[in-house]
């Protein structure tokens, strides 16, 4: 539609439009219809989110923000609740915020290790670590092995 190239497996996706194009009124625009569609979309979003656990909703927010690691305050704001309420709701689900962040980082790191050809440093950055040594320590804590040995073991299984 906009004539842009699409690249998958990128850390960020964006496109730019000229400011003039954004200020020009579309010939088929209808403010009332737009408001109605927004209300309908927000209603659907609320219904869908209401069916997901807070942990699932939060996982989606954390993953979408990567490589930035959301603070609990940012995460609560994204879900439209207070930090205290979010902490209580996660406790009801048997999780802490730190555990949830670790789970999301671990899952994304494993995906990148097994499906891509990114270096350990690139993976560390992609999942929110400032350096690869911190990532390697965390990965060992999560899995009991280093990311390099995980990648080697997976490559050997694929060759068989």
CA 111 to chain centre: 13
pTM as predicted: 0.67
- Kindly state the DSSP code that residue 46 receives in the 8-state scheme: H
Neighbour count for residue 40 (Cβ, 10 Å): 10
Q: Read out DSSP for 86-138?
A: HHHHHHHTT--HHHHHHHHHHHHHHHHHHH----HHHHHHHTT-SSHHHHHHH
Residue 18: predicted pLDDT: 65
Residue listed under structure tokens 């995460």: 75
Instruction: Indicate if the pLDDT at residue 2 is higher than 70.
Output: no
Whether CATH 3.40.190.170 fits 36-159: no
- Per-residue pLDDT reduced to its tens digit, 145-160: 999 888 888 777 777 7
CA atoms of 68 and 134, how far apart (whole Å): 15
- Per-residue pLDDT reduced to its tens digit, 128-143: 999 999 999 999 999 9
- Per-residue pLDDT reduced to its tens digit, 5-57: 666 667 766 666 666 666 777 666 777 777 788 888 877 777 776 777 888 88
Sign of CA dihedral 52, 56, 58, 59: negative
Which candidate, 81, 87, 93, places its Cα nearest to that of 53?
93
- Per-residue pLDDT reduced to its tens digit, 62-119: 999 999 999 999 999 988 889 999 999 999 999 999 999 999 999 999 999 888 788 9
């Amino acid at each position: 539609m906009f004539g842009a190239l699409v690249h998958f497996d990128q850390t960020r996706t964006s496109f730019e439009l000229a400011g003039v194009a954004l200020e020009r009124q579309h010939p088929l625009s209808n403010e009332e219809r737009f408001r109605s569609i927004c209300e309908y979309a927000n209603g659907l979003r609320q219904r869908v989110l209401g069916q997901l656990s807070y942990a699932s909703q939060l996982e989606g927010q954390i993953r979408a923000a990567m490589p930035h690691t959301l603070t609990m305050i940012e995460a609560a704001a994204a879900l439209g609740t207070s930090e205290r309420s979010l902490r209580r709701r996660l406790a009801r689900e048997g999780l802490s915020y730190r555990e949830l962040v670790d789970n999301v980082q671990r899952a994304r790191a494993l995906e990148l290790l097994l499906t891509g050809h990114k270096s350990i440093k690139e993976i560390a950055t992609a999942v929110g670590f400032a350096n690869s040594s911190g990532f390697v320590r965390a990965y060992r804590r999560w899995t009991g092995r280093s990311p390099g040995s995980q990648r080697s073991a997976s490559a050997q299984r694929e060759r068989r």
